[in-house]
């Protein structure tokens, strides 16, 4: 971790801040703030690439206990957010853990409206039923994004997990998909819907090969962008824009996963839902239980764990 802390003073990060137009004073403030956050994360034994919204809130509360005022806390979160934008730019992380943090007396916007199983099914069918475009790139993107959306809605797979999927993780004969575990999540095998099997077979044998041919890429990753880069968050950003245009109630991908887990808890026991969600700790799953949903929506001091 020491090397990581020192890396915040690296030329690459410094160049990033310069390109963003920050003054020398602001650059120094950002570096020092991020360094303090890195030291705290080391003390908590948390890898910086694995930092979640929960961890950012814990750090904010720690800073508050140290006597930091609201304005200082806002600046602190802003500095950390800049660093994670840098890591996204360097393809080190997929999402910014500060993206949904809103310091208003240590509060965060978390007023998610969850969707029922039927509503999720409707979202998927509407997206999948789009008329094919005349452009080959648009058609390839639609086929790829249809599969990604299905894995979110039917299997509740997280963005980071989608980014890590490879072609060998798809078990077509068994009708399942393997999701590797992470520091905060357990590995699991998820059963695929019949229509997903057909679409995945077509994607692996035809669509993906065409994307590889068009882009000249050489990778085992299941999902590829049609651009020259390989940053998965670009794929998800474009998908989310399409979904928001389709349904204004959709806020982000985390909202869809929260809906999936909430619906699982209506038909499965807590341990089964925990396994399906890949939660390492049952307390993460308990936060989604029906009798906790009001608290989940109203208690803006808490975060959805392990999104």
Could you tell me the CATH number of the domain that includes residue 264?
1.10.443.10
Q: Are residues 27 and 132 in the same domain?
A: no
**Residue 172: CA atoms inside 13 Å, Cβ hemisphere, count?**
12
Q: 3-state SS string over 177-244?
A: EEECCCCCECCEEEECCHHHHHHHHHHHHHHHHHHHHHHCCCCCECCCCCCCCCCHHHHHHHHHHHHH
Indicate whether 40 belongs to any domain. Answer: yes
| 283 closest CA partner among 155, 32, 292 | 292
Pick the last residue of a domain from 72, 89, 106.
89
Q: How confident is the model at residue 50 (pLDDT cuts 50, 70, 90)?
A: confident
Pairing assessment for the beta strands 188-191 and 170-171 based on DSSP bridges: unpaired
Per the CB < 8 A criterion, the answer to whether 7 and 41 are in contact is no
Q: Can you give the pLDDT at residue 83?
A: 93
Q: Are residues 125 and 202 in the same domain?
A: yes
How remote is the C-alpha of 201 from its chain's centroid?
25
Q: Is the pLDDT of residue 246 over 90?
A: yes
Q: Provide the H-helix boundaries in 20-69.
A: 24-43, 53-65
**Least confident interval from 134-143, 180-189, 279-288, 296-305:** 296-305
Q: Can you give the pLDDT at residue 292?
A: 43
Number of separate domains in the chain = 2
Q: Is the pLDDT of residue 207 over 90?
A: yes
Q: Are residues 151 and 290 in the same domain?
A: yes
Look up the CATH number of the domain holding residue 71. Answer: 1.10.150.130
Q: Are residues 203 and 280 in the same domain?
A: yes
Pick the last residue of a domain from 49, 72, 89.
89
Highest mean pLDDT among 194-198, 285-289, 294-298: 194-198
Highest mean pLDDT among 105-109, 181-185, 290-294: 181-185
Q: What angle do CA 245, 248, 254 make, to 5 degrees?
A: 95
Rounded Cα–Cα distance for residues 161 and 29 (Å): 34
Indicate whether 246 belongs to any domain. Answer: yes
Indicate whether 263 belongs to any domain. Answer: yes
Q: Are residues 73 and 127 in the same domain?
A: no
Q: Can you give the pLDDT at residue 180?
A: 94
Q: Can you give the pLDDT at residue 54?
A: 83
Rounded Cα–Cα distance for residues 114 and 254 (Å): 10
Q: Which helix (H) or strand (E) holds 70?
A: helix 70-89
Q: Can you give the pLDDT at residue 117?
A: 96
Q: Are residues 71 and 146 in the same domain?
A: no
Q: Are residues 147 and 289 in the same domain?
A: yes
Indicate whether 112 belongs to any domain. Answer: no
Q: Can you give the pLDDT at residue 3?
A: 40
Q: How confident is the model at residue 290 (pLDDT cuts 50, 70, 90)?
A: low
Q: Can you give the pLDDT at residue 22?
A: 87
**Least confident interval from 81-90, 95-104, 142-151, 250-259:** 95-104
Q: What angle do CA 82, 83, 86 make, to 5 degrees?
A: 90
Rounded Cα–Cα distance for residues 215 and 277 (Å): 33
Q: Are residues 134 and 32 in the same domain?
A: no
Mean pLDDT, range 200-217, rounded to an integer = 94
Per the CB < 8 A criterion, the answer to whether 221 and 165 are in contact is yes
Could you tell me which residue, 278 or 289, shows the higher pLDDT? Answer: 278
For residue 168, what are the domain limits?
117-298
Q: Is the pLDDT of residue 30 over 50?
A: yes
Q: Is the pLDDT of residue 61 over 70?
A: yes
- Report phi then psi at 145, rounded to 5: -70, -30
Rounded Cα–Cα distance for residues 141 and 137 (Å): 6
Indicate whether 195 belongs to any domain. Answer: yes
Highest mean pLDDT among 79-93, 115-129, 178-192, 281-295: 115-129
Cβ-Cβ contacts under 8 Å for 228 (sequence gap 6 or more): 215
**Least confident interval from 80-94, 95-109, 190-204, 245-259:** 95-109
The edge-to-edge listing of strands for the beta sheet with 176-179 is: 170-171, 176-179, 188-191
- Decide: helix, strand or coil at residue 267: helix
Q: Are residues 6 and 131 in the same domain?
A: no
Q: Are residues 68 and 136 in the same domain?
A: no
Indicate whether 99 belongs to any domain. Answer: no
Q: Can you give the pLDDT at residue 6?
A: 52
Average pLDDT, the chain: 85
CA distances (Å), origin 93, targets 170, 191, 196: 23, 27, 28
Q: Which helix (H) or strand (E) holds 263?
A: helix 253-267
Residues 251-265 pLDDT 10s: 889 899 999 999 999
Q: How confident is the model at residue 90 (pLDDT cuts 50, 70, 90)?
A: confident
**The residue to which tokens 């390492």 are assigned:** 280
How many CB atoms sit inside 10 A of residue 135's CB? Answer: 9
Q: Are residues 142 and 232 in the same domain?
A: yes
Residues 175-203 pLDDT 10s: 999 999 987 789 999 999 999 999 999 99
Q: Are residues 43 and 83 in the same domain?
A: yes
């Amino acid at each position: 971790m020491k090397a990581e802390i020192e890396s915040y003073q690296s030329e690459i990060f410094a160049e990033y801040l310069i390109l963003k137009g920050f003054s020398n004073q602001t650059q120094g403030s950002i570096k020092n703030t991020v360094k303090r956050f890195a030291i705290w994360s080391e003390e908590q034994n948390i890898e910086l690439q694995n930092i979640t919204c929960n961890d950012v809130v814990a750090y904010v509360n720690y800073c508050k206990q140290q006597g930091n005022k609201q304005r200082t806390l806002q600046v602190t979160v802003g500095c950390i957010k800049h660093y994670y934008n840098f890591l996204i730019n360097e393809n080190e992380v997929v999402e910014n853990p500060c993206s949904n943090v809103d310091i208003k007396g240590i509060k965060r916007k978390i007023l998610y409206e969850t969707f029922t199983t039927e509503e999720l099914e409707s979202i998927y069918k509407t997206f999948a039923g789009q008329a094919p475009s005349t452009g080959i790139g648009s058609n390839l993107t639609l086929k790829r994004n249809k599969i990604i959306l299905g894995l979110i809605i039917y299997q509740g797979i997280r963005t980071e997990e989608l980014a890590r999927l490879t072609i060998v993780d798809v078990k077509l004969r068994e009708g399942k998909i393997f999701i590797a575990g992470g520091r905060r999540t357990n590995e699991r095998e998820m059963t695929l819907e019949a229509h997903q099997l057909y679409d995945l077979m077509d994607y692996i044998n035809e669509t993906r090969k065409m994307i590889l041919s068009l882009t000249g890429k050489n990778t085992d990753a299941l999902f590829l962008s049609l651009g020259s880069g390989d940053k998965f968050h670009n794929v998800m950003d474009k998908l989310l824009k399409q979904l928001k245009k389709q349904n204004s109630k959709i806020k982000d991908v985390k909202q869809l996963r929260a809906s999936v887990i909430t619906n699982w808890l209506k038909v499965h026991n807590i341990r089964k839902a925990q396994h399906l969600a890949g939660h390492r700790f049952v307390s993460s799953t308990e936060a989604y239980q029906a009798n906790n949903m009001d608290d989940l929506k109203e208690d803006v001091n808490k975060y959805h764990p392990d999104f």
